[in-house]
């Protein structure tokens, strides 16, 4: 069902099919940038749904959002999440009021966004977008095996795996997954991930190994750091900075969340740091 100030005008403009359900009602003009929509009862003591939309939620191909509706990708995704929405396609004049939303064409391949190993036996996996875990399998070597249970976050971008055996410090485990894809059917390309319990960083564990301080025309400046220890190190929150002439330190930049494997090289640029095996 779609609500508007004049159902006939909306139906005609969007060439709605006969089964579309569009209703004329009293109307408040919607903000073109952002606003919070609330679906409630007459007493306003029960909230059925709430949406704080934002013009930035439009798909990347949209250059001007005027006249283009935001449509929900799936009813089982959380309302208040930009990943749950996409821009209506040109069929139906960029809107489908009162009938099925236009098909969301997701062509972006999903990727790992990180992991968190919670002692003794819980592993959280994070992905760049909502995932379809229905046919996914997970297994870990070194006698850990497959998870006993799993819990999926509301936005479907995180899964918590609980195993029957405990992880141990000082060990690197290999996680393998199969059948994992995003909601658009795009498969996860990297299906193996090295994991382990992170340990405290000591002086000498991380060292500068290479510096590009005058970048070439088509590339960037970068620093390379090397994990010279046998420990898995969480470098999230570390600060890269420079020293002033008076000996004090500049504010610097906080490093992005990522884990550096033992004897592994890491690159720091203006973009997300990458660990290179």
Domains and CATH numbers, the chain: 2-87 (no CATH), 112-195 (2.60.40.1220), 206-276 (no CATH)
What's the pTM? 0.61
Residue 272 has pLDDT above 50, yes or no: no
Residues 192, 196, 198, 203, CA torsion sign: negative
User: What is the predicted pLDDT for the residue at 276?
Assistant: 42
How many other C-beta atoms are found inside a 10 Å radius of the C-beta of residue 111?
Answer: 12
207-227 per-position pLDDT tens digit: 999 999 988 888 888 889 999
- Output the pLDDT for position 277: 39
What mean pLDDT is reported for the chain? 87
Q: How far apart are CA 16 and CA 39, in angstroms?
A: 24
Residue 248: predicted pLDDT: 93
How many C-beta neighbours within 10 Å does residue 78 have?
A: 12
User: What b/e readout covers 36-47, taking b as 16+ CB neighbours within 10 angstroms?
Assistant: eeeeeeeeeeee
């Amino acid at each position: 069902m779609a609500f508007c100030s004049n159902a006939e005008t909306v139906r005609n403009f969007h060439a709605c099919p006969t089964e579309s359900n569009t209703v004329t009602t009293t109307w408040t003009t919607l903000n073109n940038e952002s606003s919070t929509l609330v679906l409630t009862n007459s007493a306003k003591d029960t909230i059925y749904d709430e949406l704080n939309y934002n013009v930035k939620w439009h798909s990347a191909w949209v250059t001007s959002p005027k006249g283009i509706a935001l449509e929900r990708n799936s009813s089982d995704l959380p309302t208040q999440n930009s990943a749950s929405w996409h821009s209506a396609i040109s069929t139906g004049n960029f809107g489908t009021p009162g009938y099925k939303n236009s098909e969301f064409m997701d062509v972006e391949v999903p990727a790992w966004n990180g992991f968190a190993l919670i002692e003794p036996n819980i592993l959280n996996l994070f992905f760049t977008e909502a995932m379809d875990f229905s046919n996914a399998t997970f297994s870990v070597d070194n006698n850990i095996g497959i998870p006993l249970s799993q819990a999926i976050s509301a936005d479907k971008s995180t899964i918590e795996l609980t195993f029957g055996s405990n992880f141990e410090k000082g060990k690197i485990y290999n996680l393998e997954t199969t059948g994992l894809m995003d909601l658009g059917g795009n498969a996860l390309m990297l299906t193996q991930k090295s994991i382990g319990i992170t340990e405290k960083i000591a002086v000498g564990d991380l060292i500068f190994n290479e510096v590009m301080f005058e970048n070439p025309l088509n590339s960037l400046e970068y620093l390379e750091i090397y994990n010279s220890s046998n420990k898995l190190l969480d470098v999230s929150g570390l600060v890269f900075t420079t020293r002033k002439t008076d000996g004090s330190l500049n504010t610097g930049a906080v490093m992005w969340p990522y884990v550096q494997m033992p004897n592994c090289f890491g690159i720091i640029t203006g973009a997300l740091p990458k660990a290179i095996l």
